[in-house]
Each structure stands twice: as structure tokens, then as C-alpha cells.
Amino acid sequence: MRTKQEYLIRYKDGNLYCELADIWIDPSKPVKKALITHAHFDHFTFGCEEYFSTIETAILLKERVGDNIKIKTFEYGEEFKINGINISFHPSGHILGSSQIRFIFAEEKWLISGDFKLQKDQTCKQYEIVKTDYLISECTFGLPIFKWDESNKIANDISKWITNSPEKTSLLFCYSLGKAQRLLNEISQTNFKGNIYSHGSIHKMNNIYRELGIDIKDTMKIENKKKIDELKGSLILLPPSLSKGSYLKNFKNIQTAFASGWMSIRALRKRSGYEKGFAISDHADWDGILEVVKKSEAKNVFFHHGDSEAISKYLVENESINVLLFGK
């Protein structure tokens, strides 16, 4: 067995790093070269000399970091070479532009799953099965208590939640990039025909999605001075950061909900402070992670982002897959 230093990709200073190419994956501090799997804030940082990503991720990234960054973009599946290592992006189904990243060097394949899901999502490309020798996978929801319902079922639940309280203004909190657009897309296919408003941060992302050809219902931007009567019976999408503090005082007679995979657990739902929880996630559930491990045909798996102990032990005991520890 090789030592940690001999792996093509390893953990260095808490980040994934490929020494041979001197390139980092989703680094949390400024580096020379950074591969970016997707444009969520916890997957990139400001100030890198050069970024590499898919085209969609690059557009979202520029919206968040600024226009003047140096960024090389690639199509899904397009291979490029750095120091003799072949690198390519593949759809991961997490949000628009999100990708897995594959490395091939001396006939050895490595795959970094990025954040991924297998569930249907009309706002981004479907997860692509990529074969590999080594898999580095996220396991945010790496316990068998996590099993997602179909997203149209959740959307119908949301629609019912709103229409059952026509006197109220329904505030649905969700991440402004990805989750919000997926929800809008799904909700527009339900029986709910009332008004939908988005907070500015979500509205901005909606517009980018639409420019990139994704079918997102046209929503109105929520203005602070809206008349309360007009909002009765309508849905407002807001980022979770606004759930605490004075922002909610802008509304009267509200009901609140949070859309997140964690909401499948009652204790977390109660603790979250939202009245209602909708368990919908852009990450894979337990079965999803296992399916990806299996179909990737990886013989060696590393897990990160989440409680990796349980799923590691399970795979070792039940699937005779070699689960390795990075040692962060």
C-alpha cells in the first residue's frame, strides 16, 4: 500500500490537492490554480490566481467573485492536460454547472464526486456515471435514515401547505443558488397558481439560470414596502440567513418553512425554529451514495464532508470495498 504522500490526490491543509499538477480542488484559501466543482460559497474562495471550471460555473462564479478573475472554462467531458495529467469535468447533478472532476495519470483514474445527487432536477444536467479506480466522494447524508422522496411529491406538499392557509403569507427558506431554482421549477408544475416572490439574492440567480436556458418561472422581486394584503396566499422564497433577526417584521400573518434534507429528522426540524420542514436536498441520500460507489466500479473510496465513519464501515463490511482514510 502506498503512503499518503504517494496518492495522486490527497489532503493538504484541509483541502484536496494534486501535487503532480500543483492544482487544488475547491480550495478554502487563495492558491495558484483552483479547480472549482460548483459555485456554492463553501467550494471556492476569492483571490486565486487562476480558476478552472465548467462554463456555467464560471458565469455564476463571476457573479459572486467579480468579473476580473482569470478563469478557464470547459465543456462537460472535455479533457485538458496539466503536467501530463488528463483532467475533465462531468455532470454531478447538484446545481447548474456542478461537476465531478476526473483525473487520469499513468492509466490510473481518480474521481472527485464534488457535491452530487442522482435525483431528477430539471434545472441542471443529470448525474453522469463515471468509472474510476479511486473515488473521493462527499457523504453529507451518509446514513440510511436519509431517503429522499420524489421532488414532485415535495413540491405538491409545498403547494398544499400554501393553499391550506390562504390567509397567510408563506415564507419558504432555501439556499439562493440551486435549491431555489429547483423549487421554482417544481412548484410551477403543481396546482399552486398564486403569486411567487423571490428575495433579491434569489432573483439574481433566477435571472442567470434563465439566461442560460433553464426554465424558471418568472417571479417578482420582493420589495420591503409591499402591501401586506397583496401578499396574502402567496409564496415568498428567502435565503436562510434572513430567518433570524428583524427582516421578518416586514411581514404580517406568516407561516415559515425550510427546504433542506436535514428536515427529514424531527429533532432537527424542531430545533431549526421553522414551523415546517420540507426534506428536499441537492445531495445524494444513502442509497444514492451507495449506488455511485457501486456504479463507479471504484476499488478504493475516500469519504469527506459528513459523518464518514458509518458509511465507511458499512461498505467495508458489506461490499468489500477498500475505504481509505485521508488523515486531514
Partner 1 sequence: MSLKKFSELFGDLDSINSTNNKIEVLKNYFLSNDPIDNSWAIYLLTGKSNKRFISGRYLKNLFSQIYEYPQWLIDTCYLKVGDSAEVITLLLKNKTNSRKKKLSNISLNELLSETIPALSKLNEEEKNLEIKNLWEILPEDNHLIFNKILTGTFRVGVSIGLITKSISKLINIDEEIISHRLMGDFKPSIDSYEFLINKNINLQELNSKPFPFLLANTIEDKIFKNSINDFQFEWKYDGIRMQLVKRSGNVSLWTRGQELVNESFPELVEKMSHIKDDFVLDGELLVWNFKEQIAFDFSLLQKRINRKSPNKSIQIKYPIIFIAYDLLEINGRDIREIKLENRRIELEKYFSKWQNKTENDIFDIFKICDLIFPKDWPDALTYKEKSRENNTEGLIIKKKTSIYSSGRKKGIWWKYKVDPMQLDAVLIYAKGGSGRRAGLYTDYSFALWKDKELIKFASAYSGLTNIEIKELDKWIRKNTIEKFGPVRSLKPEMVFEISFEKIQISKRHKSGIAVRFPRITKWRKDKKINDADSLENAYELMNKIS
User: Measured from the CB of residue 159, what is the shortest distance to partner 1 in angstroms?
Assistant: 15
Tell me: does residue 147 bind partner 1 (CB under 8 A).
yes
- Please state whether beta strands 300-304 and 322-324 pair in parallel, antiparallel, or not at all (unpaired): parallel
Q: Does 313 bind partner 1 (CB under 8 A)?
A: yes
Pick between residue 299 and residue 313 the one whose CB is nearest to partner 1: 313
Which one among 45, 198, 264, 281 touches partner 1, defined by CB under 8 A? 264
For partner 1, the closer CB: 137 or 312? 312
For residues 94 to 133, the per-residue mask of contacts with partner 1, x marking binding by CB under 8 A and - elsewhere, is: ----------------------------------------
Task: State yes or no: residue 268 binds partner 1 (CB under 8 A).
Answer: yes
Q: What is the 3-state secondary structure (H, E, C) of 140-207?
A: CCCCCCCCCCCHHHHHHHHHHHHHCCCCCEEEEECCCCCHHHHHHHHHCCCCCCCCEEECHHHHHHHH
State which of residues 1, 67, 106, 145 lies at the interface with partner 1 (CB under 8 A): 145
- Residue among 20, 85, 143, 324 that touches partner 1 (CB under 8 A): 143
Q: Which of 111, 114, 93 is nearest to 102 (CA)?
A: 111
Q: How many helices (H) and strands (E) does the chain have?
A: 8, 19
> Of the two residues 191 and 253, which places its CB atom closer to partner 1 in the complex?
253
Name the minimum Å distance from CB 265 to partner 1. Answer: 6
Q: Which is nearer to partner 1, 19 or 233 (CB)?
A: 233
CB neighbour list of residue 112: distance below 8 Å, 6 or more residues apart: 9, 16, 25, 37, 100, 101, 102, 103, 136
Nearest to partner 1 of 116, 278 (CB atom):
278
Per CB under 8 A, residues contacting partner 1 are: 143-147, 257, 264-271, 275-277, 307, 309-310, 313-314, 317
